A and B are shown apart, each in its own frame.
Chain A
Amino acid sequence: GAGVSQSPSNKVTEKGKDVELRCDPISGHTALYWYRQSLGQGLEFLIYFQGNSAPDKSGLPSDRFSAERTGGSVSTLTIQRTQQEDSAVYLCASSLGTGGGGYTFGSGTRLTVV
């Protein structure tokens, strides 16, 4: 597609439930990032995929968070047993290998845990 597509755009879930957030990067982009933007805070790095390399998971806040990228394209971020503090906008971005041309961000998924 022309841009980075994220779905759903909004998700309301009950505390304790699992959620899956999806990201479709720009075709041909080998690098994919997940970030979290909480109210009143900056963007927090979560995980980074680059080609076939092992992902950089250093930003995942707990073992309830996981992500995978199938076939080097679509990525899914899974949050298990959601907590209220997980409420945030989850942003996905993709870029060509080195990212020198900049990164294209999706519009995000707004997750609300009630």
Chain B
Amino acid sequence: AQSVTQLDSHVSVSEGTPVLLRCNYSSSYSPSLFWYVQHPNKGLQLLLKYTSAATLVKGINGFEAEFKKSETSFHLTKPSAHMSDAAEYFCVVSDRDYGGATNKLIFGTGTLLAVQP
């Protein structure tokens, strides 16, 4: 069964320093992987997605993630944190079935990112 593990429930960084949010996945077939962000009292917003094209995926707001099959990882990074990046981040996996259609999304438990001035 597919699953996703976010290794850190809380991450705190200083403004201007790099961000690393870790995610490992387990999937039977070729997965689609996503990162979503949820700001306080706001809806979920798609940051970026991997769907078997380039392994380094660039998303919005300067975030990117690299799909590493050998490590079953899809870590989210950003070179320089901004105060507005403070939010909760969810790593999500979605398997494809034999027919190629994507099945349900499986969410990680989330990582709360705090950005200190």
Contact = CB atoms under 8 A, between A and B. Distances in A.
A55 B49 CA distance: 25
A99 B107 contact: no
Interface in A40-89: 41-43, 45, 48, 50, 56, 59
B105 A33 contact: yes
A51 B90 CA distance: 26
Interface in B89-106: 90, 94, 96, 100-106
Given A35-B107, A41-B109, A43-B107, A98 B101 contact: yes
Interface string A87-106: 00001010101111111111
A31 to B, nearest CB: 8
A107 interface: yes
* Size category, B interface: 20 to 34
B7 to A, nearest CB: 14
A102 B92 CA distance: 10
Contact of A48 (B36, B46, B104, B109): B104
A98 B104 contact: no
A106 B49 contact: no
Contact of A103 (B46, B106, B109): B46
A93 B43 CA distance: 11
A25 interface: no
A42 B43 contact: no
Given A100-B32, A103-B46, A42 B101 contact: no
B106 A45 contact: yes
A42 B44 CA distance: 12
A91 B32 contact: no
A58 to B, nearest CB: 8
B102 A98 contact: yes
B90 A42 contact: yes
Contacts of B116: none
Interface of B: 32, 34, 36, 42-46, 49, 51, 90, 94, 96, 100-110
5 contacts: A45-B107, A93-B105, A99-B94, A100-B32, A103-B105
